[in-house]
Amino acid sequence: MALAFTSSTAIHGSLSSSSHQQSIVSQLGNIQLLDQPNKFLNISQRRCAVKPLYAEPKRNESIVPSAATFVAPEVTEKVIEAEDFEKLAKDLENASPLEIMDNALEKFGDDIAIAFSGAEDVALIEYAHLTGRPFRVFSLDTGRLNPETYQLFDAVEKHYGIHIEYMFPDAVEVQALVRTKGLFSFYEDGHQECCRVRKVRPLRRALKGLRAWITGQRKDQSPGTRSEVPVVQVDPSFEGSDGGSGSLVKWNPVANVEGKDIWNFLRAMNVPVNSLHLKGYVSIGCEPCTRPVLPGQHEREGRWWWEDAKAKECGLHKGNIKDESVNGNGNNATQANDTVADIFDTKDIVTLSRPGVENLLKLEDRREPWLVVLYAPWCQFCQAMEGSYVELAEKLGGSGVKVGKFRADGEQKTFAQQELQLGSFPTILFFPKHASQPIKYPSEKRDVDSLLAFVNALR
């Protein structure tokens, strides 16, 4: 495997835990590091502890080996004991990202690597650099990333003096997919198949050479799928080098950090960032499946915008999705989310029942035009546009345009799909005064001005 180390790491023989912690404190101030025993998974197995800092890693198929030559390590054996990572997650719940990162690198050494996507998760590399410990970084090159992302990869390697370990999709699988279904099949039948070939399977190969990995997941990134992400967990979806369920540990050092605080940190540390962020991109993936978001939109709305909310994971973190009927648009979503408060609740917005919507559909000569949002109160994208829609209703008050809402999840979903053009939540329809068929709002721009322009163009 190729190793990725910061250029600032000293080469002074073996490092003891105590001397290393003193070094961190002297550089960064009073940081309280947890005095956790060095325990791992799988009681029955034994491993080698590598003493020298730059030791030649064992060659395997997960990561392309570096061309550099290293000194052969001196090794000693130690017994690997099981650790309760659920308890460790609770212990570290209020710890800083730096403390969590240091804990992860100390425990797993060369058997852990940072997953870098080329977006704001560059913060992970900065935290790893600040610990003063050696660290590794890998990234998935899908072959369809933005040029700006490749430029960031190069800038990060030069800034930190590291070599990112790139993983690529299988050429035969990509060729079969493209020849069979074309270059943009994901727009027609969903992104999961393409992501499985270009991202999930390469990730699986990379993780088979590790015992732990570090991700940039945050709870506020996707309320529907990531709101309960712990700072450390046994990976529920992938296997590590030992094989079998429970053989891989997943660290999420910034799980409890909000996006604005990540950016404050990046600006303060003056680290390289993806130039796409300056163009309105927040969550960045492959070029065909990523676009900027507008004020009032959640950051994940810039990913796979043509799909339902439940599809806002590419498969790398599918273990976050506990019940697709809750996080997606399943027919049981209504019962599963009875406790969720209703939205768009204002005197300017009319709540429509199923018979009311059916009457609107039947009328060919309405007394006034209607604007209706098909929504689910648990959908984070509906929640994100609530303010804009409420303000729009206030502006349209007295204009002759009625503004309504229809809850289209649960038992009403099939009807909404068949009769109301529901594809994903939210769907916005305009019912003209002298036409029977409603007109679907085609854009993801749900700010007040864009919605008002749509209405004014049709009424």
State how far the Cα of 298 lies from the Cα of 425, in Å rounded to an integer.
13
Q: State yes or no: is 289 an active-site residue.
A: no
Q: State yes or no: is 382 an active-site residue.
A: yes
Closest CA to 145 of 278, 274, 305, 285: 285
What tokens does 146 get? 């933005």
Task: Say which of 194, 195, 314, 382 is annotated catalytic.
Answer: 382
State how far the Cα of 2 lies from the Cα of 137, in Å rounded to an integer.
9
DSSP symbols for 283-337: S--BGGGB----TTS-GGGGBSTTS-GGG---STTGGG-S-HHHHS--TTHHHHT
Do the beta carbons of residue 150 and residue 144 sit within 8 Å? no
**Helix pair 448-458, 386-396: axis angle to 10 deg:** 40
Do the beta carbons of residue 376 and residue 370 sit within 8 Å? no
| Alpha carbon 446 to its chain's center | 22
Closest CA to 333 of 421, 425, 401: 425
Helix (H, G, I), strand (E, B) or coil at 113: strand
Alpha-carbon separation of residue 446 from 81, 295, 385, 392 (angstroms): 53, 9, 6, 10
Give the contacts of 381 (CB within 8 A, at least 6 positions apart). 297, 298, 301, 309, 424, 425, 426
State how far the Cα of 173 lies from the Cα of 383, in Å rounded to an integer.
39
**Helix pair 122-131, 147-160: axis angle to 10 deg:** 10
Residues designated as active site: 379, 382
